């Protein structure tokens, strides 16, 4: 049986206090936050310079290599979209 040492186990305080600027989310979470389907996300990346840019998760440059998005940048983008609604 394998157990994790107590000093490596996440505590409730550590789980609640994370920094969105250092959290990388994958496309499923990005889709849930923005409400965009996968094809729309990639269209936004192509057409919308304000949309959060992906972070490569490997050294590979080939198509289909893993990427993620910085959670804080996604939150900022969503807040900007909400603010634009207020202006319109």
Q: How far apart are CA 11 and CA 19, in angstroms?
A: 15
**17 has pLDDT over 80:** no
Residue 26 included in any domain? yes
Q: What is the pLDDT of residue 2?
A: 57
Whole-prediction pTM: 0.76
Q: What is the pLDDT of residue 86?
A: 79
SS3 35: coil
Q: Whole domain around residue 76: which residue ranges?
A: 19-87
The strands making up 24-25's β-sheet, listed across from edge to edge, are 24-25, 67-70, 55-56
**7 has pLDDT over 90:** no
At 53, which CATH number?
A: 1.10.1660
Q: How far is residue 88 from each of residues 14, 26, 74, 85, measured CA to CA in Å?
A: 40, 31, 21, 5
Residue 4 included in any domain? no
Residue 7 included in any domain? no
Instruction: Pick left, alpha or beta for residue 41 (phi over 0 → left; psi -120 to 50 → alpha; otherwise beta).
Output: alpha
Q: What is the pLDDT of residue 69?
A: 98
Residue 1 included in any domain? no
Residue 6 included in any domain? no
Count: domains in the chain: 1
**21 has pLDDT over 70:** yes
């Amino acid at each position: 049986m394998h157990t994790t040492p107590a000093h490596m186990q996440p505590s409730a305080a550590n789980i609640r206090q994370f920094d969105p600027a250092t959290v990388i989310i994958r496309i499923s979470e990005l889709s849930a936050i923005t409400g965009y389907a996968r094809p729309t996300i990639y269209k936004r990346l192509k057409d919308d310079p304000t949309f959060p840019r992906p972070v490569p998760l490997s050294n590979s440059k080939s198509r289909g290599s893993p990427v993620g998005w910085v959670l804080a940048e996604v939150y900022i983008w969503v807040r900007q979209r909400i603010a634009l609604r207020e202006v319109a």
